Amino acid sequence: MKVTAIGTGYVGLVTGACLAEMGNHVVCLDVNPEKIRILNEGGIPIHEPGLEEVVKRNVAAGRLQFTTDVDMAVQHGTLLFIGVGTPPDEDGSADLQYVVAAARSIGQRMTDYKVIVDKSTVPVGTADKVRAAVKEELVKRGLGDMSFAVVSNPEFLKEGAAVEDFMKPDRVVVGSDDEQATLLMRAIYSPFNRTQDRMLVMDVRSAELTKYAANAMLATRISFMNELALLAEKVGADIDLVRRGIGSDTRIGYQFLYAGTGYGGSCFPKDVKALVRTAADTGIPLKVLTAVEEANERQKRVLVDKVVERFGADLKGRRFAVWGLAFKPNTDDMREAPSLVVIDELTRRGATVAAYDPVSMAEAARVLGPRDDVSLVERAEAALQGADALLIVTEWKEFRTPDFDAIKGTLKAPVVFDGRNLYDPKLMKALGIEYRGIGRG
Ligand code: NAI
């Protein structure tokens, strides 16, 4: 089939590459010429395990191409997947300007039946807005009768495992009220559905809400555990043992029960905000989710609170090693990363920071910019030199069993603030390292 991905970011590039892998002819369009240049020169603009191989194989096979040429891209696909950003507006609602611009650019150029697929995370009612924008452009061209469908197909992939998630989805949600469009969506997703039909076809509004509901539920689990961690500390319990105790209940399950430095990334924070906003606008305030967001804001500061408790509020002259900058492991994405709050709070109090991340160093240099109070170092151990303490912010595998002797021997005094509860407090005590985790009273 012929497919166009509009927006070649984490979602658009993975969607385009994985659909090409199944034999489709895919054009990935982006308005960012730099991104397209990198891809056309054989590079990958993001870190995503396994993506490079899939992209290279399908480019070589002539099934995947990258362009900034909107005319060509719109003409090419029968299915047009919109995967552009939906960042938060000032009031927390999702900013739909990129989605609507993409819809208009389709309406301005299409010459035959198209299925326009909303893959971006968008509030309930967006498919109607997309339909109206396309129609308006068609009418301007005197083509008001031209037929097209708008389908909601929210994406559930996780950064860091995006290719695997796309290839083996738990489910594929399709919101559609157009029979032909539903058939085409069934066809395009059939290779991902071979062992079991994982496609859930529903009305458009339910599909749009499903995506927000999923992220809101996951964020709720995180904030719930983070709040319990605060309590565990006060009452002398260990949240990690509590996690195991409740996760073993199959009704609860083990996933997303880790206390830490708060959720970040490009999805949870903005999606929680957008859903809270939608709910407030409709007069059904989501009290639980409002609390989830408040708890998360507080949680991002918990690690630095512990530093202040140990070293005092004035951190002038102190230096801290920070391990982990990406918002989670296996990605270089630093959007809304807890590390940014940690670095900001430490430096605002006068400290300097030496930071290391296995893959986000280039992204960190771009996001943080050149500054005197933060140095980005090439190796984890190098960050420890002359530091008063180590703060662990992202749970990369390589931090799980580090050289504890080096930590102890290199830090000025052996103090570790572990925002991801990677180590056994008893072991750390035995090693003579002062250890503060999250919720480990
Ligand atoms: P991204 O920021 O990585 O990529 C968006 C791309 O769209 C950018 O390269 C931008 O230049 C391009 N773009 C903007 N307007 C355009 C236009 N009119 N025509 C062509 N290209 C245009 O964003 P990401 O992370 O891929 O997210 C996209 C959407 O998918 C968002 O709504 C997000 O919430 C959702 N999503 C993201 C997931 C993730 O893990 N990143 C997972 C599931 C959903």
Supply the pLDDT for residue 194: 81
What are the chain's domains?
A: 2-202 (3.40.50.720), 212-299 (1.10.1040.10), 302-436 (3.40.50.720)
Closest by CA to 242, choosing from 225, 222, 256, is 225
Q: What b-and-e string marks burial along 169-181, b requiring 16 or more CB atoms within 10 Å of the CB?
A: beebbbbbebeeb
For residue 85 and ligand 1, the question of a CB distance below 6 A is answered with yes
What is the 119 CA–ligand 1 centroid distance (Å)?
9
Supply the pLDDT for residue 333: 96
For residue 6 and ligand 1, the question of a CB distance below 6 A is answered with yes
Answer yes or no: is 434 a known binding residue. no
Supply the pLDDT for residue 372: 96
Token pair of 360 as six digits:
């986000």
For residue 115 and ligand 1, the question of a CB distance below 6 A is answered with no
As a whole number of angstroms, the distance between CA 63 and CA 316 comes to: 56
For the chain, the straight-line distance linking the first and the last C-alpha, in angstroms and rounded, comes to 57
3-state DSSP helix/strand/coil % of the chain, to nearest 5: 45, 15, 40
What is the 10 CA–ligand 1 centroid distance (Å)?
7
pLDDT (tens, 9 = 90+) of the chain, 441 residues, equals: 999 999 999 999 999 999 999 999 999 999 999 999 999 999 999 999 999 999 999 999 999 999 999 999 999 999 999 999 999 999 999 999 999 999 999 999 999 999 999 999 999 999 999 999 999 999 999 999 999 999 999 999 999 999 999 999 999 999 999 999 999 999 999 999 988 899 999 999 999 999 999 999 999 999 999 999 999 999 999 999 999 999 999 999 999 999 999 999 999 999 999 999 999 999 999 999 999 999 999 999 999 999 999 999 999 999 999 999 999 999 999 999 999 999 999 999 999 999 999 999 999 999 999 999 999 999 999 999 999 999 999 999 999 999 999 999 999 999 999 999 999 999 999 999 999 999 998
User: Torsions phi, psi of 236, nearest 5?
Assistant: 75, 30
Closest by CA to 306, choosing from 135, 435, 168, is 435
Residues annotated as catalytic are 267
Answer yes or no: is 263 a known binding residue. no
Reduced to 3 states (helix: H, G, I; strand: E, B; else coil), residue 390 is: strand
Name residues whose C-beta falls within 8 Å of residue 226's C-beta, 6 or more positions apart in sequence.
259, 260, 262, 295, 296, 299, 302, 438, 439
Name residues whose C-beta falls within 8 Å of residue 208's C-beta, 6 or more positions apart in sequence.
118, 122, 123, 124, 125, 126, 127, 152, 154, 175
Reduced to 3 states (helix: H, G, I; strand: E, B; else coil), residue 79 is: strand
Answer yes or no: is 194 a known binding residue. no
Instruction: Look up the ipTM and state it.
Output: 0.99
What is the 236 CA–ligand 1 centroid distance (Å)?
44
Burial class of 192 by CB neighbour count within 10 A (0 to 12, 13 to 18, 19+): middle
For residue 418 and ligand 1, the question of a CB distance below 6 A is answered with no
For residue 155 and ligand 1, the question of a CB distance below 6 A is answered with yes
As a whole number of angstroms, the distance between CA 93 and CA 276 comes to: 8
Residue 338 contacts residue 327 (beta carbons within 8 Å): yes
Closest by CA to 77, choosing from 15, 130, 33, is 15
Supply the pLDDT for residue 417: 98
Radius of gyration of the chain (CA): 24
Q: Write the residue with the smallest CA distance to atom 34 of ligand 1.
A: 121
What is the 187 CA–ligand 1 centroid distance (Å)?
24
Token pair of 37 as six digits:
């240049």
Q: Write the residue with the smallest CA distance to atom 25 of ligand 1.
A: 10
As a whole number of angstroms, the distance between CA 356 and CA 343 comes to: 12
Q: How many residues does the chain have?
A: 441
Supply the pLDDT for residue 195: 85
